Amino acid sequence: MTILILSVIAIVVFVATLVYLKKKEKFDDLNNNYVPDRVEEAVEKTKKVVKETARRTKNVINESKDVITELKDVVDAAKGKPSKKKYYYNSKKKK
d(CA 9, CA 20): 16
Question: Tens digit of pLDDT per residue, the chain (95 long)?
Answer: 889 999 999 999 998 988 888 777 777 777 877 778 888 899 999 999 999 999 999 999 999 998 888 888 888 888 887 766 655 555 555 44
User: How far is C-alpha 24 from the geometric centre of its chain's CA atoms?
Assistant: 37
Query: Residue type at 27?
Result: F
d(CA 59, CA 49): 15
- The answer to whether 28 touches 37, Cβ cutoff 8 Å, is yes
Entry pTM: 0.51
